[in-house]
Structures are given as C-alpha cells and as structure tokens.
Amino acid sequence: MKPQTTIPNKGNPFYNTTSNGGYSWCIQGKPTVEGLNVLCNCVGWSCARFNEVYSTETGYKGMKYPQLNCNAENFIERATSIGLTYQNEPCLGGIMVWQGISKNNAGHVASVEQINSDGSVLTSESGYNHFAFENYTRYKGNGNWGLNSNFKYLGCIINPANPKPEPTPPPSPYPFNGIVKKGSKLYAENGNQYKNPASADRQVQVLGEVNGRYKVYGDTFNPHIVYVNKGDVIPNTGYPFNGIVKKGSPLYNEYGGRYKNGASADRDVRVEGELNGRYKVYGNTFNPHIVYVDKQNVIRK
C-alpha cells in the first residue's frame, strides 16, 4: 500500500458524491473542493480512502462500503453493522475513530497510511469547515493518539483488503570505492571526451551513474568529477579492514615514489583500498598518515 501524501486528483470518483459523478454516499464537504466534493470533511475523506485502498488492493470495481457515511463517532457501530471489524491499535488502511465529548462535537476519523517503527502512525485526514487534506504523524501518548480532551479514541476499523506496507526500496549501491584503470577514457557530463586519459590507476569514489557511465570523484582528476565507462572501474571490495604493516616495509606515495624511511616497527593500520597493486593504508604513526604498502607486507588482523 502506497501512503497517500497528496490530495487526490480532481474527478477521483471515490471523493465525489453520486450526484457529482462519483461513488460516495457522503454529504458535500464545507468548504466544498471542486472536483472532490466530499471534501472538506473527515467522514467523506475516510470513507473514500478506506474504499479506495480496498479497491486498489483487491481489484474491486467501485465503492465496496459506501455505508460509512454517518457521523464520525458512529463509524464503529456502522462498520460492524455491515460486517466489518475493529481493533484497538491502528492498522494499515484502517480508519481511526474518535468520539466527540464536548457538545455538538460529532467526533473525528482518520485514515492510517503508514505504521512507523517507533509505534507512531502516519494518517491522512480532512476536517469539516477546516481543511481538505493533511497528513499527520500521530503518537499514542496517553492513548488518545494526539487529539485533545474533546475527543476519546475508540479504535480502528480493519480494512479487509489486508493491505501490506510499501516495499522498502533496496539500498543504493552508491557511493562505493574503486579504481579507474590506467589509460581509461575520461568524459564530461555532456559526453564529451577529455583529451588526456587516466595516466595511472586512480583511486576514486563512484558517486552514481549517468547515461551508462560511472560518475566518479578523484582527488587527482581535474576537474575532480569525471565520467568513466563502467568496464574501466574496478570496485574495491572488502575495504576497509584492520591490519599490521610489518617492520621494515617500504612505504610509497600515491604515484609510486618510495619514501626514504620504511616502517620502523610493526604498525597498526586501516587498509582503505588498493592502488597499482599496493594497499592504501591509514596509520596514525605515519607521516603522512596515508601511505601505500606492498600487499605481502600487510597482515590482516
């Protein structure tokens, strides 16, 4: 079930009365919204949304439960009379119901769009003589789910379509670290190729992709962001990991130049990746902190 976070398009039959070409048996809202004439009204909204969810989830054509057209506080009685059930806790696609306590208060209803991990719920709502559509995040609190003492929470009508939460999108594979191979062609965002290719293997961060190429960031590129054919990037998998650089190991800079002094003792390091066949390592005792070390000189911890 996809949460409703915007007002429906005008002409949606669930949100229009039968006299206006729609499905609803509810009264017109106040003020009336053109093309959605059951709004503004919590009853018109929740009846429409409940039935819309049922239709979307089951394929039912039309409004299965148009009888949900009474005062808000009487929704549970009306629902049970037509074969629906309710429970105390809010449920996805259901209708939360509040009784009106103060004089001339006909209660309130709200539609449950999402159940959040912290126990709160995202609702969609309308208000007679107040507003056409709003989303609210409601917390249980003292059990009244965010409404004041003029209202008493009664329960939530269960949507028999048994809607399921919107699937969680898979995590993005970006960014990830990789190596742009020596000789790789480099491109601008518009697809124009730069004159010079990569002059050596270059460590980069892959930010995403555009038009079939990787968008990469590299400190040694000018500009720093370039675009590279996917086949020219080797992902650095398994990094970072902790290791030990062995005493006496030669240390190198990014360009392959060897530093005068090697490791004076075994050194704890974090291996962040590799470049030109050597490990890129970070060590607090090295100066500079990032150096490059032959792989056989690093012991994985």
Instruction: Name the strands in the sheet holding 108-115, side by side, starting at the edge strand that comes first in the sequence.
Output: 86-87, 151-157, 95-100, 108-115, 121-127, 131-138
CB 135 within 8 A of CB 113: yes
pLDDT over 90 (residue 104): no
State how far the Cα of 15 lies from the Cα of 114, in Å rounded to an integer. Answer: 21
CATH number of 241-300: 2.30.30
State how far the Cα of 73 lies from the Cα of 266, in Å rounded to an integer. Answer: 74
pLDDT score, position 15: 98
pLDDT score, position 254: 85
In words, the CATH class of domain 176-235 is mainly beta
**DSSP secondary structure string for all residues of 47-77:** HHHHHHHHHHHH---S-S-TT--S-GGGHHH
Q: Phi and psi for 222 in degrees, rounded to 5?
A: -135, 105
CB 243 within 8 A of CB 297: no
Q: What is the pLDDT of residues 10-42, one digit of tens each?
A: 999 999 999 999 999 999 999 999 999 999 999
pLDDT score, position 201: 87
State how far the Cα of 158 lies from the Cα of 142, in Å rounded to an integer. Answer: 22
Q: What is the pLDDT of residues 210-260, one digit of tens each?
A: 999 999 999 889 999 999 999 999 887 778 899 999 999 999 998 889 999
Q: Which residues pair with 7 in a beta bridge?
A: none
- State which fold the 13-157 domain adopts: endopeptidase fold (from Nostoc punctiforme) (3.90.1720)
Mean pLDDT over the full length of the chain: 95
The set of residues, in sequence order, having a beta carbon less than 8 Å from that of 117 and lying 6+ positions away, is none
pLDDT over 90 (residue 8): yes
Q: What is the pLDDT of residues 187-218, one digit of tens each?
A: 999 999 999 999 988 889 999 999 999 999 99
Q: Which two tokens stand for residue 268?
A: 């704890």
Q: Phi and psi for 136 in degrees, rounded to 5?
A: -130, 145
CB 127 within 8 A of CB 133: no
The set of residues, in sequence order, having a beta carbon less than 8 Å from that of 103 and lying 6+ positions away, is none
For CATH 3.90.1720.10, the residue range(s) in the chain are 13-157
Q: Which two tokens stand for residue 269?
A: 């390091």
Q: What is the pLDDT of residues 145-200, one digit of tens each?
A: 999 999 999 999 999 999 999 888 888 889 988 889 999 999 999 999 999 999 98
For CATH 2.30.30, the residue range(s) in the chain are 176-235, 241-300
Rg (CA), the chain: 31
Look at the pTM and tell me if it is higher than 0.75: no
pLDDT score, position 255: 85
